[in-house]
Each structure stands twice: as structure tokens, then as C-alpha cells.
A = this chain, B = another copy of it.
Amino acid sequence: MRLYYNHSASQNHKRSAMLLFTPGPTEMEQDIRDIAAMRLPYFRGQEYTKMMLELTENLKYLFRTENTPLTLTASGSGVMEMALLNLLNPGDRVVVLNCGTFGGKWTTMCRSFGVVPHEIKPELGEIPDLEKLSDAITGEVRAVLVTAHETSTGLLNDIKAIGEITRSRGVLLIVDAVSSIGADLFAMDDWHCDCALVSSQKALACMPGLSFIAFSERAWQVVPSVKRHRYYFDAEEYMQNIRRGMVPYTPAMNVTFQVHERLARIRRSGLTAYIDGHVAKAKAFRERMLQSGDFSLFAQRQSNALTSLLLPEGCTMSEVIAFIRDKYDWYVAPNPTQDQRYLRVSHMGAITIENLLELAEKIEEACRSFRKGRK
């Protein structure tokens, strides 16, 4: 077999024109990438456990929680499963706020684990009616499962408002904040979240491979009552280990070093400043795109992590993406909803306002070419 793929120094050169506007993986700064190439210490030695304790301390700051976030070698889907396996028994009833692909994933996952979901499902991009959510919390409901930033449409849910509802009704609030924490304001404790999770390759702009999950005190009290077969996703096992800076199974160590450095930087500049970096990019890009009047915003309330644009009549998401990819080697991710009406442009990672303004031109160019072709 002949191998096409050549991992040489020229690889980065080949990728020099390439830019990712995808919501994970994201572009990473050179010095963050270089951390991945460093030699590793032994993972049960003092250097590593000390680093893991610092990482965990800074994850608390990131989640804005007094609870102890856990570090797992898994994608976001892995820690979503962890939330279910540790907090919900088979037969438990829950309300799922399904605003798109990732909300829908909660539903699928509930069914996979014998949990009975009741869905609140607004139109794609629309702000959900929280009164409906509140009404759905009947006496038997144990938890509400939501997505903070529904990456598939760009919609940002009002977790604070949802947290007030779930607290007053005495049910657990489980939040997939995978592509929101670090880009949007998020306050696990103040907003009464019982479980929140995030991954390394979204707003933290590190390599994929790690996810982080935190449980509230109330959630920890529920865990022992959940009679499930679990091993790799057993929360108590991770909790017992992390007190000593340990992870029960060999972690994706290089990613932990990157995230450690990222969090140290966020801590130095302040989380608000880090979020504001996303705000500035989102604002500049949106203003630029709305200038011509040809585009409007798709999701009604947008995350800072991503802009979803309603495309002009005659343009499809797939065509715009292919045009920009083939002509410029720039990457915008297709919509997992398969909906052709809108385009999602991520603002996470090391892309700049200048990159985004240049992308805006390319999007307009793509749309012009398609509309012309069809006249």
C-alpha cells in the first residue's frame, strides 16, 4: 500500500493557507501547539499530579463552581454519558430541551440508557418557551437536560433562567456546555446547575481528547442512589483520584498540559477578558455581515462562540462551504441539522477579527457567484 499522507515539516507549510472556522477542532496558537510536542513526565509522579491539582483548581474558576471538576479522556459525548450514568436510573423521567442536534443527542442518549425523555422542541434557531419547559416538569420528572450553546444552530439558551425554574421545582439541571464555557458567561453555582460539562477543543482551543465534568453537592448526593453498571464513567472513582492529582486511567496527558497552560493564561487575564475576546470577534463579524442587507442572523439569541447566518435566497450552506473550501482552503463546518438555509462560522480559537472579516468577503463572493449563476 502506498501511503499518501506525509508527516513532514512540509505538512504545516501545506496547511499555511488553510484556516479552520469550525467549532472544534479550532485553530491553536503555535505556543499552545508546541506544548503537545514536549516530552512527558510519568503520570503518577509528583510533577504531573501537582500540575493536575492546579488544572483542577483552575477548572473551578472556569466553571465558576466550588465543586471539583473531573478530567476524562473522552469526547463531549463521553461525559454526557457520564452525567446520565451517574445521575439517572433506568425508568427515570426527564425533560429535554431539544433545540437542535446536540439537544437531540440528550434524547437519543436517554433512550439508550432507559431514561424516559419528554422533549421541548422549538423550531431550529428559535428561543424556547420556558413556560412550556416549566409546565413539563410534572411530579415524576427527575431532571432537566439542556444544551447551553446549541452548536448546531448557534442558539444560546438562558441557563440562568432555566436554573431558577429547576431549583424552584426541585429537579436536577444537567447542562451540556461543551461549546459555551469560555466563550459565553457561565456560572455553574450561581445558576444552580447540578452538572455541567465542557471539552478541550472548543473555546479552550486545545487539542481534542479531553472533557471535563462537574457535579453539584446535590448531584453528588444522588449518585449513590443510581444503580447502574459503570466503570470508565464512574464519577466517584475519578473524584477519589483527583484529590491526589490522579486520574484513574492513563489520561491524554499532552492535552492536560495544554489545558493547564490555557487556564493559567485565562486566570492571568481574567475569564471576563477571555470571553470578551469572543464577544469582539462575534460583534465585528456580525456587523460586517449585516451591512449589505443580504444576510441576517439565524439563531434568535446567539452564542459568542459562533455566528449562524441566514443565507440569501438561492444560496445553500453546502455550496457556500464547498466554494470557500475549494477556492481558499478555508473550512466552515456543515450543519449537522442538514438545514441548507444557514451557515455557522465559529469564533473560537486563534482566528482573528481580520480572518473573520476576510471570511465575510469570501462568503459574499460565494453567494454572489451562485445567485448570478441562477439568474
Contact = CB atoms under 8 A, between A and B. Distances in A.
Given A15-B41, A81-B232, A264-B3, A255 B252 contact: yes
Interface string A63-77: 000000000011111
B57 A39 contact: no
Interface string A343-355: 0000000000000
Given A57-B1, A249-B76, A231 B38 contact: no
Given A252-B207, A254-B254, A18 B33 contact: no
Contacts of A201: 250
B18 A41 contact: yes
A39 B207 CA distance: 10
A130 to B, nearest CB: 28
Given A12-B39, A25-B250, A27-B39, A5 B77 contact: no
Nearest to A47: B5
Contact of A109 (B44, B231, B248, B250): B231
A253 B207 contact: yes
Contacts of A324: none
A295 interface: no
A104 interface: no
A307 to B, nearest CB: 18
A41 B28 CA distance: 12
26 contacts: A3-B264, A5-B264, A7-B35, A7-B261, A11-B38, A15-B39, A25-B250, A25-B253, A28-B39, A33-B36, A36-B36, A37-B37, A41-B331, A44-B333, A73-B74, A74-B232, A76-B250, A77-B231, A81-B231, A81-B232, A108-B231, A112-B229, A114-B229, A208-B252, A228-B229, A254-B254
Contact of A254 (B51, B77, B114, B209): B209
A242 B35 CA distance: 29
Interface residues of A, number: 76
A109 B208 CA distance: 27
B73 A208 contact: yes
Interface in A223-269: 228-234, 248-255, 257, 260-261, 264, 267
Nearest to A75: B249
Nearest to A33: B37
Interface in A38-55: 38-45, 50-51, 54
B113 A231 contact: yes
Interface in A179-226: 199, 201, 207-209
Contacts of A22: 42
A355 to B, nearest CB: 14
A50 B4 CA distance: 9
A90 interface: yes
A57 B90 CA distance: 39
A78 interface: yes
Interface in A308-358: 325, 331, 333-334
Contacts of A334: 44
Which of A1, A42, A43 counts the most chain B CB atoms within 10 A?
A42
A58 to B, nearest CB: 8
Contacts of A231: 77, 81, 108-109, 112-113
A15 B252 CA distance: 19
Contacts of A37: 33-37
Nearest to A35: B7
